[in-house]
Amino acid sequence: MANKKQMVFIMTDTQRWDMVNCYRETGLATPCIDALAADGVRFERAYTTQPVCGPARAGLFTGTYPSWNGSWANGMALGDNVKTIGQRLSDNGVKCAYIGKWHLDGSDYFGNGFCPEGWDEEYWYDMRTYLYELTEDDRVKSRSRKTMNFEDIPDDFTYGYRVMKRAIDFMEKHKDEDYFLVVSFDEPHGPHLCPEPYASMYKNYEFPKNPAVWDTLAGKPEHQKVWAAARGNAEKDRDEIKIKSPYLFGCNSYADHLIGEVVKYVPDSAMIMYTSDHGDLLQSHCLFAKGPAAYDDVARIPFIVRHPEGERGAVYSKHPVSHISVCPTVMEFFGLPIPKVLQGESILSACRDTSAEAPELAFIEFTRFEQDHDNYGGFQPMRAVTDGRHKLAINLLSGDEFYDLEKDPYELNNLIDSEEYAAERDRLHDAILDRMCLQRDPFRGYYWDNRPWRSDADAPSWKYRGYTRQRENEEYEPRQLDYANGLTMNHPQRQKTADEPGKFKSLAHLIEYLKHYDD
């Protein structure tokens, strides 16, 4: 088949950006990912849409923010009118396979075992499928890192190994077709099960502390202090903290090995995209795991692309990029129109050429960690944005944060009340508010505008900005009708009452409106 279009999307789980050697040398071995970076473009600053497993995947594979697509917490399925990139591509003749952790069906951590629409059923392999291959005793062993204290784990016992083998089989069988293949490793996420030599290679290793580990949360939001108190972290002597997790770091290098095995079989003419869903705080800011924070330790992720016609060994640092750009980038790579319903922009040109432009801002959100339990603080709504130099996080039920990432790369000094930074802070605040309105964030409202530090905010209004915002998903449903007259809508964003002028918070919002306006 001439002019084949093939793409392999590889992802890990809970691999923060500085757990990859080509981003920061820490003593962790990731030679295969480093080699991929040397053969493509490494994006210096990339961010998840939400630093939680399920919502992060929702942003990646639908091209819409978790708050909009319905999967705004673990255990919450995508809305039934939300289409994944697999559905969109397969409906346009591209073979699509998803092999590995899914976490988007509203079931438990392992999934429900059913292949979603648009993906090849023969290769569907979520974690429930894997567990069904094991005896009950082996299932228990597969879920405990203590297993490695008593026995060596065979390579082919791990989920990652079986995901890797299926991915290679798919590429071999479909080498003459257009295809989009997702290889979604659960590793290095706990229980960090891995074979030797990885299980023991970090036995005496300490992950080097960065200055964020000494952050005592003075001047930081109250919910972060409650979070830290859950393990008594704020009371610990930060000098005495040792970041030791031999199985996590061993599994990190094991995941790198598995990625290397997959990449060996990817044709030179195919595009490879690699990332992780989110990071891990690892004691930074007295915090642990992941949750309602926009710190780089948890929200910033590795992101590397090898485009068949792109630069080699290059670094893109002009702007931060976001997972929200993955779906439109994939659509453009396959030569397909980018649907209006997608909420990001393609960065395909930046994947080829590091002098190309990309969206200026990367947005991060958080609404809830888990629907089925409250071990992670319950409802903690956050909306955040960074332009690469500054970062603003609005924590709706707590205090807000603003950082100068150039002067304070470890986000220690909260400048939310600084008059020196008021103009930049307010500019990013307007960007958050505009995005929430333009992209139909269901949690939008005047309370995001009326922050204690925003002296020029409009008075609270019950009708807020007075807009109607309808959905444009016209590849799969009829164009929506105007509630006021029953006629086909001209523009999805419009004032609900015709005799009231539009209220735009910024020039960017007005330009976006006019760009889509249809007389």
Among all residues, which ones are annotated catalytic? 53, 103
- DSSP-derived pairing of the beta strands 321-322 and 362-368: unpaired
| Cα–Cα nearest to 362, from 314, 406, 325 | 325
Q: Which phi and psi (to 5°) does residue 455 adopt?
A: -70, -25
DSSP state letter for 18 = G
Q: What is each CA distance from 488 to 480, 491, 502, in whole angstroms?
A: 6, 9, 21
SS (H, E, C) 180-222: EEEEECCCCCCCCCCCCCCCCCCCCCCECCCHHHHCCCCCCCH
The length of the chain is 519
Q: Which phi and psi (to 5°) does residue 174 adopt?
A: -120, 30
Q: What is each CA distance from 364 to 115, 200, 290, 468, in whole angstroms?
A: 29, 36, 13, 24
3-class secondary-structure state, position 6? strand
| Cα–Cα nearest to 158, from 182, 189, 124, 180 | 189
Token pair of 504 as six digits: 């735009």
Amino acid at 519: D
- Sheet containing strand 271-276, edge to edge, reads 95-100, 179-184, 6-12, 271-276, 303-306, 41-43, 314-316
Distance CA 303, CA 185 (A): 15
